[in-house]
């Protein structure tokens, strides 16, 4: 059977995936491209050190596939895009979002700035935006909600496979394709922009510090080996999460003993305690800053606030890690962690060995 005709001769896919959704989306896109006789190169950007110029082979489409984190592109992908070389390539932005299904009802995720920022950065580099696909795979954020049932995962995954095949056909035939979701969700996506900034500059560090290994950890070190941002290290023979952690959920999903937990009983009191401490208010007074002094002072107050939160978090996480060494205390945290009772998430058919480094 002869290949179908496409304007593109080659497809280069740069992908990052925490739990396999973006990896599957990239794989489906590649599958369809091959049907059209398009040559495919897939590059995982995990732990990247340098960013090389893409291989251009005839008319080339460059796709960036990544999960949405905190209404934004995953920070690792944003960093990659910021360093991406200038050029006039055609590009596709595909962000996987967290879809949910309760009973028969589907709930889509929300991109926030996950499409806009990569589009902006790439356009400034001279690239032409030829495709946009906000893509609702099963949500993997099992720190904030229980993982979906197998049947819900299967159902959402099958629908998305059909959607991406149709989308890819349009894209390869016409040379451009924009999902209706990009336009329909635009007002909501823009409305959550302040939350995007809050998560990027503050919230993500809080989540990074919510992970710990329970007493069931047998020191197999798979989490360390497979962390896409190299953010887990050993401290006293126990995994320790650095601030570079993006909370991508891979470690929780692949841990063979299910021993990695989100410490709800640590993070909730920390947030509450932070709201009570007088340090921010006194700091602000000490520096003579107050919030009715115009925009600049408002920004200064927020920066001081952020620094105070960060210092507070560093200190309390150190204390928390120290306490975890005591088996009894470790068990208390474990039994009060919701992830101990919730299902975890990995995309269908995806295993620890499926993830490659650049
Ligand atoms: C830290 C974190 C933040 C997330 N934020 C969002 C979000 O803002 N909007 C959304 O639709 N999904 C969000 N999700 C869900 C993921 O984007 C979604 O499940 C994605 O498909 C996961 O892709 P991956 O398996 O390739 O990592 C978030 C997940 C995590 C772990």
**Tens of pLDDT, residues 223-255:** 999 999 999 999 888 899 998 999 999 999 999
Which ligand 1 atom lies nearest to the CA of residue 192?
A: 8
CB 247 within 8 A of CB 339: no
Q: Using CA of residue 140, residue 142, residue 146, residue 150, what is the dihedral sign?
A: positive
Can you give the three-state secondary structure of 126-144, one letter per residue? CCEEEEEEEEEEECCCCCC
Say if residue 17's pLDDT is above 70.
yes
CATH number listed for the domain at residues 204-340? 3.30.70.20
Q: Which CATH number fits domain 10-193: 3.40.50.300, 1.10.630.10, 3.90.25.10, 3.40.50.360?
A: 3.40.50.360
Confidence at 307, pLDDT banded by 50, 70, 90: confident
pLDDT tens-place string over residues 86-145? 998 999 999 999 999 998 999 999 999 999 999 999 999 999 999 999 999 999 999 999
Any residues with Cβ below 6 Å from ligand 1, and which? 17-22, 67-71, 96-98, 109-110, 112, 137, 139-141, 207, 247-249, 347
The one-character DSSP state at 237 is: T
First to last CA, the chain: 34
Domain ranges, ordered by start, for the chain: 10-193, 204-340
Q: Alpha-carbon distance 64 to 81, whole Å? A: 9
* Confidence category of residue 281, pLDDT binned at 50, 70, 90: low
CB 57 within 8 A of CB 39: yes
CB atoms under 10 Å from CB of 327, counted, come to 10
pLDDT of residue 135: 98
Q: What is the pLDDT of residues 34-92, one digit of tens each?
A: 999 999 999 999 999 999 889 888 899 999 999 999 999 999 999 999 999 999 899 99
All residues at 6 or more sequence positions from 181 whose CB lies less than 8 Å from its CB, including other chains: 108, 133, 134
| 39-44 and 10-15 beta bridge pairing | parallel
Task: Give residue 356's pLDDT band: very low, low, confident or very high (50, 70, 90).
Answer: confident
Enumerate the β-bridge partners of residue 129: 91
CA of 140, closest atom in ligand 1: 19
pLDDT score at 312: 82
Index of the ligand 1 atom closest to the CA of residue 99: 11
- For the record, the structure tokens of 54 come out as 């893409």
How far away, in angstroms, is 66 Cα from ligand 1 center? 9
Give the C-alpha separation, 137 to 100, whole Å: 8
Closest CA to 247 of 227, 220, 276, 218: 227
Which atom of ligand 1 lies nearest, measured to the CA of 68? 17
Q: What percent of the chain has pLDDT over 90?
A: 73
- Mutate which of 72, 94, 98 to test ligand 1's pocket (most atoms within 8 Å of Cβ)? 98
What are the C-alpha distances in Å from 186 to residues 111, 112, 163, 197? 9, 8, 20, 17
Where residue 205 falls among pLDDT bands split at 50, 70, 90?
A: confident
pLDDT of residue 291: 54
Give CA separation, 25 vs 20, 73, 164, 214, 280, in Å. Answer: 9, 15, 8, 33, 44
The b-or-e profile of 84-119 (16+ CB within 10 A means b, else e) is beebebbbbbbbbbbbbbeeeeeeebbbbbbbbbbb
Mean pLDDT over all residues of the chain? 91
């Amino acid at each position: 059977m002869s290949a179908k005709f496409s304007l593109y001769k080659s497809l280069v896919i740069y992908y990052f995936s925490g739990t396999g959704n973006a990896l599957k989306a990239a794989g489906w896109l590649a599958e369809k491209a091959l049907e059209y006789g398009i040559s495919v190169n897939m590059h995982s950007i995990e732990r990247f050190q340098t960013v090389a110029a893409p291989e251009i082979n005839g008319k080339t489409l460059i796709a960036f596939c990544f999960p949405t984190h905190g209404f934004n592109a995953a920070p690792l992908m944003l960093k990659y895009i910021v360093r991406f070389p200038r050029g006039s390539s055609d590009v596709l932005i595909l962000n996987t979002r967290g879809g949910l299904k309760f009973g028969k009802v589907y709930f889509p995720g929300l991109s926030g700035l996950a499409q806009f920022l990569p589009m902006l950065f790439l356009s400034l580099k001279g690239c032409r935006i030829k495709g946009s696909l906000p893509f609702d795979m099963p949500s993997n954020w099992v720190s904030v909600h229980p993982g979906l049932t197998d049947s819900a995962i299967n159902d959402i995954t099958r629908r998305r496979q059909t959607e991406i095949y149709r989308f890819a056909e349009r894209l390869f035939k016409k040379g451009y394709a924009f999902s209706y979701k990009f336009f329909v969700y635009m007002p909501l996506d823009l409305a959550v922009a302040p939350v995007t900034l809050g998560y990027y500059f503050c919230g993500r560090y809080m989540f990074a510090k919510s992970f710990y290994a329970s007493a069931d950890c047998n020191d197999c070190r798979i989490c360390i080996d497979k962390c896409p941002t190299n953010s887990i290290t050993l401290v006293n023979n126990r995994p320790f999460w650095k601030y570079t952690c993006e909370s991508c959920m891979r470690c929780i999903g692949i841990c063979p003993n299910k021993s990695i937990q989100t410490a709800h009983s640590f993070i909730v009191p920390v947030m509450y305690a932070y709201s009570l401490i007088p340090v921010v208010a006194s700091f602000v007074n000490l520096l003579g800053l107050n919030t009715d002094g115009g925009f600049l002072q408002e920004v200064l107050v927020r920066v001081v606030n952020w620094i105070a939160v960060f210092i507070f978090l560093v200190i309390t996480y150190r204390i928390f890690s120290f306490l975890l060494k005591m088996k009894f205390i470790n068990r208390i945290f474990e039994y009060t962690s919701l992830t101990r009772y919730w299902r975890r998430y990995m995309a269908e058919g995806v295993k620890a060995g499926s993830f490659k480094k650049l």
